[in-house]
Amino acid sequence: MTPRIFALLASLVLLAACSSGTTSTPAAPASSPASTTAAAPAAATGPTIAISGMKFASPVTVSPGATVTVTNADGAEHSVTADTGNTFDVDVDGKGTATFTAPTQPGTYAYHCTYHPTMHGQLIVA
């Protein structure tokens, strides 16, 4: 190998090293660790059946045995009463809230309001 060819090869190697070196250093993004300062909202958590305008917000899907909150925006008293099986039955005062325990058996449960026969809804346990 002549010195001239050696120099040529050496320069090629240097070029290759140089070009690869300049493309392999992306700036590492500053990672922001999960902040622990976010305040959780005080609103009620968990599944909710909202009653407004003589209607249930339905269907609502809940976990087996979940505590379900019922909110009543109407002035009239309502109830959330299972159509069959006496699986749940709760009265909700006008402008009030109530809770009941969802069935533990998965399925779709039809319910109604005992005071207003036109009010119907479905609770899905899954």
Query: Between residues 63 and 120, which has the closer beta carbon with respect to Cu ion?
Result: 120
Query: Between residues 6 and 115, which has the closer beta carbon with respect to Cu ion?
Result: 115
**Residues 50-79 contacting Cu ion, CB under 5 A:** 78
CA-nearest of 126, 124, 125 to 59 is 124
Contact by Cβ (8 Å): 57, 92: no
**Residues 4-33 contacting Cu ion, CB under 5 A:** none
**x/- site string to Cu ion, residues 76 to 105, per CB under 5 A?**
--x---------------------------
**Which of residues 68, 113, 123, 125 is near Cu ion by CB under 5 A?**
113
Could you give the CA distance from residue 122 to residue 57 in angstroms, rounded to a whole number?
9
Kind and range of the H or E run holding 98: strand 97-101
In the complex, least distance from residue 43 CB atom to Cu ion, rounded to whole angstroms? 24
Could you give the CA distance from residue 108 to residue 31 in angstroms, rounded to a whole number?
45
Q: Who contacts 105 (Cβ-Cβ below 8 Å, separation ≥6)?
A: 64, 125
* Residue 115 engages Cu ion in binding (rule: CB under 5 A): yes
- Interface ranges with Cu ion (CB under 5 A): 78, 113, 115-116, 119
